């Protein structure tokens, strides 16, 4: 009976591990399948075209160039390889500036013919209109509508997924913002976390240790929105005052909040690893004439390096994957930061803020899933790097 029970438990554990592994694989496959559809999406909004006069020799524009044209930052066709003539913008809502209601018809049934006529007789025009309104496509010149490229996504310097006529899906501001905040969070949290762990493990008496340990572990149970609120009320105004900034929401505020959030994980895991160092090794070091601090540095820390590394990895993971607290204190500006005192936006904050508003299956939706893939690979790279360093230390 006992062997049968053990077999049943063993089977349940095996099935649990198998189901968990399959679930993880399916989640990753779903993530990739949704994300990679972005590169099959068109640059120009679905159902619309960019129509030019037939004499215009420009055949295609990048998403950034299209946005600059419609933002009137590019005002002459020679700036994008065309003839020396000014650019005239036309959107569907501009049609009443060119034609009366009588010319367009009571139900705008003549709008297509009028728009096509306008493009035919205006040399420098670029018209962003529904494709159905170009009734004689052979009499105008349509810009080539390419699919979104890998270069436009990963080297793009602007994130503006709702821009028309061409959405901007540049990941560079979001990736740099995530790495910027996470790097400074770890630089702040690691020295403090390691110092507190050493104190609790090697220096503090049992009463102090028994008092501090539950308090530190309690910090990891505080919701992230509470940390974000604390950062917004306390840290943001302090940074604004100390550095004389126009706004206190910045990468530094996000780094400090993330460092506070990562501290309990780093301290708890590191302290447990150091306390697992055999007492005989400490006593042997002290017997050979080493001081307490020499023993900590030369014996305890090298022996516990694997556990310390695990604490660091978990702390970095908490920093990189955090959403709400960062969203509240970093300014949420999708721009490439040049200093830690500038507002920025991270990948998790972007996904949390925009996924609910992105139409399912659209380019914006797929871009957010691709951001999840990027975040997955960043975490994977950090884990592999730390494991390699840990293996060398052993």
C-alpha–C-alpha distance, residues 35 and 377, integer Å: 13
Indicate if the pLDDT at residue 394 is higher than 60: no
Tokens of 22: 């399959």
Q: What are phi and psi of 53, to 5 degrees?
A: -65, 145
pLDDT digits (tens, 9 = 90+) for 334-369: 888 888 899 999 999 899 888 888 888 889 999 999
DSSP state letter for 234: I
Tokens of 225: 């929105």
CATH code assigned at 64: 3.40.190.10
58: which residues sit within 8 A by CB, 6+ positions away? 52, 77, 80, 81, 82, 143
Averaged pLDDT, 158-163: 89
Indicate if the pLDDT at residue 247 is higher than 70: yes
107 lies in a domain? yes
Indicate if the pLDDT at residue 139 is higher than 70: yes
Task: Tell me how crowded residue 293 is: count the other CB atoms within 10 A of its CB.
Answer: 11
Predicted local distance difference test score (pLDDT) of residue 2: 72
**Cis amide bond preceding 281, omega within 30:** no
The beta strands (E) that lie in 6-78 are given as 48-52
- Do 112 and 175 lie in one domain? The reply is no
Number of domains in the chain: 2
Q: Where does residue 93 rank: exposed (0-12), middle (13-18), buried (19+ CB within 10 A)?
A: exposed
Q: Where does residue 346 rank: exposed (0-12), middle (13-18), buried (19+ CB within 10 A)?
A: buried
- Do 222 and 358 lie in one domain? The reply is yes
pLDDT digits (tens, 9 = 90+) for 168-223: 999 999 999 998 998 898 889 889 988 988 888 888 888 888 888 888 888 878 88
3-state secondary structure of 125: strand
| Among 130, 146, 162, residue at a domain's last position | 146
- Do 183 and 142 lie in one domain? The reply is no
Residue 254's region, left for phi above 0, alpha for psi from -120 to 50, else beta, is alpha
165 lies in a domain? no
Predicted local distance difference test score (pLDDT) of residue 50: 92
164 lies in a domain? no
Indicate if the pLDDT at residue 1 is higher than 80: no
- For the chain, the C-alpha Rg in angstroms (whole number) is 29
| Among 103, 129, 146, residue at a domain's last position | 146
Containing 231, the helix (H) or strand (E) segment is none
320 lies in a domain? yes
C-alpha–C-alpha distance, residues 377 and 381, integer Å: 6
125-130: strand order across its sheet: 88-91, 125-130, 48-52, 141-142
- 129 and 164 Cβ atoms separated by less than 8 Å: no
Range of the domain at 235: 171-392
C-alpha–C-alpha distance, residues 81 and 89, integer Å: 17
- Do 106 and 212 lie in one domain? The reply is no
């Amino acid at each position: 009976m006992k062997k049968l029970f053990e077999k049943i438990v063993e089977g349940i554990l095996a099935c649990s591990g198998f189901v968990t592994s399959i679930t993880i694989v399916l989640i990753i496959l779903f993530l990739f399948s949704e994300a990679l559809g972005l590169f099959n999406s068109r640059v120009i909004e679905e159902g619309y075209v960019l129509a030019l006069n037939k004499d215009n020799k420009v055949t295609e524009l990048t998403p950034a160039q299209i946005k600059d044209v419609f933002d009137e930052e590019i005002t002459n066709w020679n700036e994008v390889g065309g003839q020396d003539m000014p650019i005239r913008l036309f959107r569907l809502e501009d049609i009443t500036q060119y034609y009366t209601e009588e010319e367009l018809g009571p139900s705008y049934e003549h709008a297509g013919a009028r728009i096509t006529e306008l493009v035919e007789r205006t040399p420098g025009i670029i018209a962003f209109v529904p494709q159905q309104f170009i009734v004689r496509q052979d009499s105008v010149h349509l810009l080539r509508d390419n699919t979104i490229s890998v270069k436009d996504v990963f080297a793009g310097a602007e994130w503006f997924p709702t821009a028309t006529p061409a959405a901007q899906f540049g990941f560079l501001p979001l990736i740099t913002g995530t790495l910027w905040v996470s790097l400074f969070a770890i630089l702040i949290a690691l020295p403090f976390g390691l110092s507190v762990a050493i104190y609790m493990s090697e220096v503090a008496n049992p009463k102090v240790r028994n008092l501090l340990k539950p308090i530190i572990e309690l910090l990891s149970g505080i919701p992230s929105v509470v940390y974000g609120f604390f950062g917004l009320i306390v840290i943001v105004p302090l940074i604004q005052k100390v550095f004389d900034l126009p706004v206190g929401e910045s990468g530094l505020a996000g780094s400090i909040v993330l460092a506070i959030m990562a501290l309990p994980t780093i301290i708890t895991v590191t302290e447990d690893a150091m306390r697992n160092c055999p007492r005989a090794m400490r006593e042997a070091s002290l017997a050979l004439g080493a001081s307490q601090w020499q023993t900590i540095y030369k014996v305890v820390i090298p022996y516990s390096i694997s556990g310390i590394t695990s604490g660091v990895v978990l702390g970095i993971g908490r920093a990189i994957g955090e959403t709400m607290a960062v969203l509240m204190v970093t300014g949420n500006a999708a721009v490439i930061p040049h200093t830690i005192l500038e507002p920025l936006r991270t990948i998790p904050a972007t996904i949390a803020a925009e996924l609910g508003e992105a139409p399912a299956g659209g380019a914006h939706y797929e871009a957010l899933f691709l951001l999840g893939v990027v975040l997955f690979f960043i975490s994977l790279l950090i884990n592999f790097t730390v494991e390699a360093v840990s293996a060398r230390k052993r």
